[in-house]
């Protein structure tokens, strides 16, 4: 991690497992630390649900919202140039206009009751597209079973965002099964072992100056703006949403090089409006020109930022590197919740929104 700007107000509050447990009665930290186990379990669940392959030249559309959709975006990033057909994530009530019967549609909804995803399921059926479902149950599972559609089962009892491993592995495996990309089974196994090492390095038993705890402290009291490029772009969005939901505070994300054509100018006025922190998620295998761009952008933004951090992926394969920063961001968001003294579990305003929509 590099810190190119002035640090946010430091805090020495302990981030031990016991301290976090005082604000985390539902065990959100426990689920983050279980990421390696979730990766292995997810592989088994896909293999037990789908025993055959099929061929859809139109590629793969992953339909989902929130924590259920992020798996598709992370899978697409992990496959990168190795994907042989389009892989698209839709977060809407409908499918892309170009979706045809030659497209596989993976409907991802943790609860099984997400209305946008249910609409996509029905649209895919009307088109005659190959469908697969990943869910814990709900209406989506019931409809799929009535229609004879494969259902990849996800364990219940999580907040949807904690099922990131299940949703990502499901998207990767379905991409392979429909011909949109290669099988990454061995990479997933290796990534699970690598993630166990990172859990020890960044988890609550790690030193108080570990990367995860130090980053959480640097971001405490700021509004983080997280930037990614290429492989790390969807991870930046994951960091943003995890900080939103776990730490219960604003955070935003953007993508390089687009950021350099607009947002970089806005930093000039940031000091008048609040304490904003810049976080750049770099990839150890990024194009040299991208690395140069990140370094220069960081240098230009740093004078205006409460904190300016650059963090690099860890691991050999693209999937390992993706998962490394997913784990780090998830831990940071939990630590930020603990520093704020807020429970990372509930998302009451989302539930109120859904209740309001159901009355209309």
Catalytic residues: 245, 261, 354
Which residues lie across from 3 on neighbouring strands?
309
Pairwise CA distance, residues 99 & 229, whole Å: 27
5-40 core/surface letters (b: 16 or more CB in 10 A; e: else): beebeeeeeebeeeebeebbeebbbebbbbbbebbb
Which residues lie across from 255 on neighbouring strands?
228
Integer angstrom CA distances of residue 31 from 79, 165, 197, 235:
25, 11, 16, 18
- The answer to whether residues 226 and 279 touch, using CB atoms and an 8 Å cutoff, is yes
């Amino acid at each position: 991690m590099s810190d190119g700007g002035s640090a946010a107000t430091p805090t020495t509050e302990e981030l031990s497992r016991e301290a976090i447990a005082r604000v985390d009665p539902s065990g959100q930290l426990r689920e983050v630390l279980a990421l390696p186990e979730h990766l292995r379990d997810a592989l088994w669940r896909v293999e037990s649900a789908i025993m055959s392959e099929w061929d859809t030249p139109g590629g793969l559309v992953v339909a989902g919202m929130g924590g259920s959709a992020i798996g598709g975006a992370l899978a697409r990033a992990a496959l990168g140039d190795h994907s042989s057909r389009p892989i698209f994530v839709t977060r809407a009530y409908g499918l892309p206009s170009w979706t045809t019967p030659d497209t596989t549609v993976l409907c991802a909804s943790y609860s099984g009751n997400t209305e946008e995803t249910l609409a996509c399921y029905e649209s895919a059926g009307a088109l005659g597209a190959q469908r697969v479902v990943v869910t814990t149950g709900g209406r989506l599972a019931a409809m799929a079973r009535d229609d004879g559609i494969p259902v990849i089962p996800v364990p219940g009892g999580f907040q949807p965002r904690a099922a990131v491993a299940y949703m990502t592995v499901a998207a990767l495996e379905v991409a392979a099964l429909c011909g949109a990309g290669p099988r990454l089974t061995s990479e997933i196994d290796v990534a699970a072992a690598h993630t166990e090492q990172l859990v020890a390095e960044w988890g609550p038993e790690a030193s108080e100056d570990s990367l995860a705890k130090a980053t959480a402290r640097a971001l405490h009291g700021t509004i983080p703006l997280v930037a990614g490029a290429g492989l790390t772009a969807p991870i930046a969005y994951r960091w943003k949403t995890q900080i939103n939901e776990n730490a219960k505070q604003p955070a935003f994300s953007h993508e390089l090089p687009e950021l350099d054509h607009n947002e970089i100018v806005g930093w000039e006025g940031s000091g008048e409006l609040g304490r904003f922190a810049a976080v750049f998620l770099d990839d150890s295998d990024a194009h040299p020109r991208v690395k140069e761009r990140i370094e220069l952008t960081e240098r230009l933004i740093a004078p205006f930022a409460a904190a300016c951090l650059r963090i690099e992926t860890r691991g050999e394969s693209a999937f390992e590197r993706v998962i490394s920063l997913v784990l780090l961001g998830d831990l940071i968001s939990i630590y930020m919740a603990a520093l704020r003294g807020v429970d990372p579990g509930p998302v009451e305003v989302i539930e109120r929104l859904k209740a309001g929509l159901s009355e209309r």
